[in-house]
Every structure is written in C-alpha cells, then in structure tokens.
Amino acid sequence: MIEVRNIIKSFEGKEILHDISTTFYAGKTNLIIGQSGSGKTVLMKSIVGLLRPDSGEILYDGRDFLKYNQHELKDLRAEIGMLFQGSALFDSMTVLENVMFPLLMFTKQSLAERKKRAEFCLERVNLKGADNLLPAELSGGMQKRAAIARAIALNPKYLFCDEPNSGIDPKTSLVIDKLINDITHEYNITTIINTHDMNSVMGIGENIIFLNKGHLSWAGTKDDIFDSKDDAFNEFVFASDMMKEVKMYINNTK
C-alpha cells in the first residue's frame, strides 16, 4: 500500500499539485487519470522519487521514503518496478539482457539463474522466442510486454505504469491492461497506472483518482463512474460521443 499525504509540488513558483492525499492499495490496479497537464505525471514522478515534492509525505507500507538516505532509498528501489510510456528498454541490449539487467545489478544470482528467471518473466508476458531480439526489432506491444517483464523481474511490491497504452492499438491495449491486472492480483502488487485511456479506466479501474488542474477532484472505482456528480470528471470521462451514448443507455436502463 502507498499512502500519499498532503503532497504539494511547484515548478518555478507555479503550484502544479495542490495538497494531494490519497491511498493506493496492494493487489489492486490503482489508476491516476486526468487531462494532459492535470499533474498526473508529476504526481507519479513524485511518488516514485524522480521528482521531490515541496512538502507532504509518501508512505510505502508506512515507510516515508522522502526521509530516506541514499542507501535506504536504493534498497526501496529494489522493490519498485516501472513501465515507462516509451518502454525505455535499453536499446543496446537484447530483450533477454534487458530483463536480466535488474537481476544482474541487484542480486547475486548466477548467469544460469538470471537467465531462468528472465525466461520465466518473458513467458509470463507471452513473449517467448523474442529473447535475442533487440528492442528496435519489436512492435510497440511487444516492447511494452518486454518492459513489463523487466519491471517484474525482481518481484516488485510496487509497480508503476506511465501511460502503458500510449502508441499501441486498442486490441493490444486490452492485452496489456489484462496482463498488468493479472500480475497485480497474482503477486499482490500495489500497481499505480497513469492513463487517460477510457478502455483501461472501464476495464481495470479498481481504484481511480481523477486529477483536475492539480487538485484531486474525484475518487472511486470503475463501478462508480456513471454515478459521479463531479462536473470536471464527467466532462473528461464522457468527452466522446460514444461514452455519452453509453452513459445515456446505462442511465436509461437503470
């Protein structure tokens, strides 16, 4: 579980996150949604430590990592996996080497053990047979799956996904969503996904927070969406004609 308490973050005097407090639960896919520029990437980067908030607390199962020294921070990072928007696979390494990399850096496993674990992770994300390919030789969806395999190589307790469906087709997006959701439940990971993909929201939104201009405007689950009274949230979720029709249909059949 990750608790965020009263996080404030500014850039050059301009406040981007205004006193955000929320909880992300273990074994659930927690979604941060919002329009571009709403502060969701800043919030995720603050939680994961790529940005330092001006004030507030971020508790990883009760441990406030903002008070950690470099050594403690390094230990905590071994419990974190992250899937980046562009996959961020190391392009000089093969897929297998990418997945083996965290094991090489943070475990004392032998080459055979590392290889076995990496192959297991690649099999888990249905990417068998791509071991010796370079990232540039993979499709967008395959790159995401390889990045997920690398993120779970060290059995993380916390998994962060920044726009996991950006740049991939809707069908592959569903596969990626299902994979992240399955892994979250299977290993009881606290997964936080930063997205504005409504298919993800409706499909795997077990705990959703909506950011509007740096404020936490709405929180709930995918089942609460159609009952929301928050105007900004409704404008965001039901922006497309299709979603408007879906809402109308659901409300009429209630």
Residues that bind another protein (CB under 8 A): 48-50, 73-78, 80, 82, 84-86, 88-91, 101-102, 104-106, 160
Sheet containing 63-64: order of strands: 14-24, 2-11, 55-60, 63-64
Q: Closest separation between CB of residue 63 and another protein, Å? A: 15
Q: Please say which residue, 100 or 225, places its beta carbon nearer to another protein.
A: 100
Residue that has been written with the tokens 């995720």 in this structure = 44
Helix or strand holding residue 129 (H, E): none
Q: Between 25 and 106, whose beta carbon lies closer to another protein?
A: 106
d(CA 25, CA 204): 14
CB of 121 to another protein, least distance (A): 15
Nearest approach, Cβ of residue 41 and another protein (Å): 11
In the complex, what is the shortest distance from the CB of residue 215 to another protein, in angstroms, rounded to a whole number? Answer: 26
Long-range Cβ contacts of 36-41 (<8 Å, 24+ apart): 36/196, 38/211, 38/212, 38/213, 38/214, 39/9, 39/211, 39/213, 39/214, 40/194, 40/211, 41/162, 41/194
For another protein, the closer of residues 10 and 85 by Cβ is: 85
Please, what is the minimum distance in Å from the beta carbon of residue 89 to another protein? 8
Q: Which positions ≥6 away from 111 have C-beta within 8 Å? A: none
Q: Between residues 80 and 232, which has the closer beta carbon with respect to another protein?
A: 80
Q: Which is nearer to another protein, 43 or 201 (CB)?
A: 43
